[in-house]
């Protein structure tokens, strides 16, 4: 657990926590879809797939004073079950740019490592400099630059992080 003070006159401090989802609710399904839509123009999840990932994947939440301010949806990869794919990870807009991304990703890697994952990979847009910076700072490196999506023109990079013999980095518990 970590305490975090937000900039501004109030000097208010928030209690940060990372929590793993252990039961599905309609509210959680809506929250997952909402955080995703606050970020990407195309939704990653339908109601159906959000439920499926909540039930059968691993979903980690970032909470500030008990309110969900970020989410990370993970699944095991088919080719190597010890490797986890981060399908989507995001923090609500008002909470971005304050260093929370770094704490969240460090906490996510710590949790995944505790449950036996040996590596984590993800795809991120080449233009998403902030996310790439967070991933690099937490031990990911670029494995491959993918071809541009012919439909959107967006280029993605595949990043990967080994969790084997990794120095302890966790901040938020």
Ligand X SMILES: CC(C)(COP(=O)(O)OP(=O)(O)OC[C@H]1O[C@@H](n2cnc3c(N)ncnc32)[C@H](O)[C@@H]1OP(=O)(O)O)[C@@H](O)C(=O)NCCC(=O)NCCS
Contact footprint for ligand X (CB under 6 A): 39, 88-91, 96-102, 124, 128-131, 133-134, 137
| Smallest separation, CB 141 to ligand X (Å) | 16
| Smallest separation, CB 97 to ligand X (Å) | 5
In the structure encoding, which two tokens stand for residue 10, read together? Answer: 């109030």
C-alpha angle 18-21-27 in degrees, rounded to nearest 5 = 110
Closest CB to ligand X among residues 23, 41: 41
Tell me which residue has its CB nearest to ligand X: 101
In 93-152, which ranges are continuous DSSP H helix? 100-114, 129-137
Closest CB to ligand X among residues 102, 171: 102
Cβ burial of 103 (10 Å; 0-12, 13-18, 19+) is buried
Closest CB to ligand X among residues 23, 172: 172
Closest CB to ligand X among residues 52, 171: 171
Residues 6+ apart with CB under 8 A from 64: 4, 14, 15, 16, 95
| Smallest separation, CB 135 to ligand X (Å) | 8
Q: Determine the Cα–Cα distance for residues 128 and 22; give it in Å rounded to an integer.
A: 31
| Smallest separation, CB 128 to ligand X (Å) | 5
């Amino acid at each position: 657990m970590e305490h975090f003070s937000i900039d501004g006159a109030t000097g208010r401090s928030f209690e940060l926590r990372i929590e793993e989802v252990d039961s599905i609710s309609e509210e959680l399904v809506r929250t997952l879809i909402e955080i995703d839509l606050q970020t990407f123009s195309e939704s990653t999840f339908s109601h159906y797939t959000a439920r499926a990932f909540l039930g059968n994947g691993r979903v980690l939440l970032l909470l500030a004073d008990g309110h969900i301010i970020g989410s990370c949806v993970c699944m095991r990869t088919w080719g190597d079950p010890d490797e986890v794919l981060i399908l989507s990870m995001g923090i609500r807009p008002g909470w971005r740019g304050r260093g929370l991304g770094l704490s969240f990703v460090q906490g996510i890697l710590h949790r995944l490592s505790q449950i036996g994952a040996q590596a984590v990979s993800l795809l991120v847009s080449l233009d998403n400099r902030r996310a790439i910076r967070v991933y690099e700072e937490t031990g990911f490196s670029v494995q491959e630059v993918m071809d541009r999506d012919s439909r959107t023109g967006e280029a993605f990079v595949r990043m990967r992080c080994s969790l084997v013999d990794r120095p302890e980095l966790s901040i938020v518990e």
